[in-house]
Amino acid sequence: MDKTIYFDNAATTQISSEVLNKMMPYLTEEYFNPSSLYSRAQKVKNAIEEARKNVAEALGADPNEIYFTSGATESNNWAIHSIVEQNKKNGKQCHIITSKIEHPSVLNVFKKLERDGLEVSYLNVDAEGRVSPEELEKTIKSNTVLVSVMYANNEVGTLQPISELGEICRKHNVVFHTDAVQAIGNVKIDVLHQNIDMLSLSGHKFHAPKGVGALYVRKGLKVENLLFGGGQERGKRAGTENVASIVGLGCAIAEATKDIEVKNRHLKELREMLLSGIKKIPKVKYNGSLEHGLTGTLNFSFEGIEGEGILLLLNSYGICCSSGSACTSGSLDPSHVLLAMGLDHGLAQSSVRISLSKYNTSEEVEKFLEVINPIVERLRKMSPVWNEKI
C-alpha cells in the first residue's frame, strides 16, 4: 500500500521524535512520584516545572499562571465553570457570551448552562467566520461575567480579532477566555498584551501526545478547584501528574513556537499549490479567510456532492482528510460553523477540510491534486442534485 498522506492535522498530529525522546525516560527509569521527597523524585518535579516554564514562555505568561490538564476539553470546561461558579456564589444572575462557531467543548458547556437557567448570548460570524468586536461590545451587559471566543477555528481556520475582543472585555471588566488550541505554533500569542484572562490548549494538536493540555489563568483571577484531592497543581487540580505527557507538552510547545515563521512560509507554499489546483475544478467554494486564517487549514465546498463521499474516495488513495471536525463527523448534521457563516445545508454538507502540518510536503499536495479532480467528477456524475442543476 502507498504511504498515508495525512492532511487531518486539525484533528490530531503525530508526536515529534524529539518530543518522544524527551518523554521516554519518564515512562521508564524516571518513574518517581513528583510529590515524593527524595532527590530522584525532585528531579521529576523539576522536569514538570521546566515544562510549565516552556508553556508560560510560549504564551507570554508566568509559570505560576499555568495549570496542566488532560486537554482542552477539560481546560474549557474548567475555565467556564470556574467563572460561573464564582459569580453564582456572589448571588449574581450572570450573563455569559460565546460565539456560534466554537468547538463543542465550549459550545456544549454554554448550552448546558443555558438549560440550567443562565443567560447566554451567541455571537454571529461573517461570511469568513469572524465575530465583530462591535457586536461583542453591544452584547455586553452590566451582568456579563464571561466572554469565551476561540482564537482560531478548527474547521475553517479563521482567526478572530483576539486583541480587540480582549481590549473590549478588559474595558468592561469582563473575564475573557479563549480556546487557543488551533493557534498554538501557528501565530504569536501574548496573553498580557492581548488582554487574555484565561486560555486553553491541547498538546496533541501540536505534536505532543493526547491526553495532556493546559489552562492559563491570569494572576489575580481566582480559579475554582477542578478536582479535590492532593496538592498537585497548587491544589486546584488534584491527582498524580501525567509526568511524561507534561514533559512532552513542554518540549512540543517550545518546538512549535520557535519556528512559527519558518513553518508558515512552508505551509503558505503548500496552500498556494492547493488553492490554484482546486480552483481548476468548477463550482468549488473556499470557506474561510485567506487574510485572517491559519496557513495550514483549508476548507472547501464541492457543490452538488457530499463531503463524506469525497473523504471515502480520498481514503482509497491513502489520503486522510475530514469533513467539518472529527468530533461531529459521523453525524449527518451539517457543520454548525459553516451554517453560521451563511452556507446553506447542501453546501455545508459538501465540505472537506485539509489541515496541514510542518511534516507535509509538496509531493503529497501534488498527489492530492492528481486525484481530487477525478474524484469530484466521478461523484458529480452520480449525484442527482448535481445533474438536476446542469
Q: Which residues bind ligand PLP (CB under 6 A)?
A: 71-73, 103, 105, 150, 154, 179, 181-182, 202, 204-205, 213
State in angstroms the smallest separation of the CB of 201 from ligand PLP. 9
Are 162 and 59 in contact by the 8 Å Cβ rule? The answer is: no
Using the minimum distance from each CB to ligand PLP, give the nearer residue, 304 or 324.
324
Are 66 and 214 in contact by the 8 Å Cβ rule? The answer is: yes
Using the minimum distance from each CB to ligand PLP, give the nearer residue, 151 or 368.
151
Using CA atoms, how far apart are residues 73 and 203, in angstroms rounded to an integer?
A: 12
State in angstroms the smallest separation of the CB of 189 from ligand PLP. 14
4 SS3 class: coil
- Cα torsion angle, 280, 12, 226, 43, sign: negative
Using the minimum distance from each CB to ligand PLP, give the nearer residue, 78 or 302.
78
State in angstroms the smallest separation of the CB of 141 from ligand PLP. 27
Using the minimum distance from each CB to ligand PLP, give the nearer residue, 157 or 309.
157
153's grid cell: 477555528
182's grid cell: 488551533
Using CA atoms, how far apart are residues 187 and 275, in angstroms rounded to an integer?
A: 21
Using the minimum distance from each CB to ligand PLP, give the nearer residue, 12 or 225.
12
Which listed residue (169, 251, 321, 327) is catalytic? 327
Phi-psi region of 195 (alpha: psi -120 to 50; beta: other; left: phi over 0): left
State in angstroms the smallest separation of the CB of 283 from ligand PLP. 29
Helix (H) or strand (E) holding 369: helix 362-382
State in angstroms the smallest separation of the CB of 160 from ligand PLP. 11
327 is a catalytic site residue: yes
Using CA atoms, how far apart are residues 359 and 266, in angstroms rounded to an integer?
A: 10
3-state helix, strand, coil in the chain (%, to 5): 45, 15, 40
Residues 6+ apart with CB under 8 A from 166: 176, 194, 195, 196
Residues 6+ apart with CB under 8 A from 99: 122, 123, 124, 125, 131, 149, 150, 160
User: What is the C-alpha radius of gyration for the chain, rounded to an integer number of angstroms?
Assistant: 22
Using the minimum distance from each CB to ligand PLP, give the nearer residue, 73 or 99.
73
Considering only CA atoms, which of 302, 336, 345 is closest in space to residue 321? 302
State in angstroms the smallest separation of the CB of 74 from ligand PLP. 6
State in angstroms the smallest separation of the CB of 267 from ligand PLP. 17
Using the minimum distance from each CB to ligand PLP, give the nearer residue, 177 or 205.
205
Task: Tell me the one-letter amino acid at 281.
Answer: I
The set of catalytic residues is 327
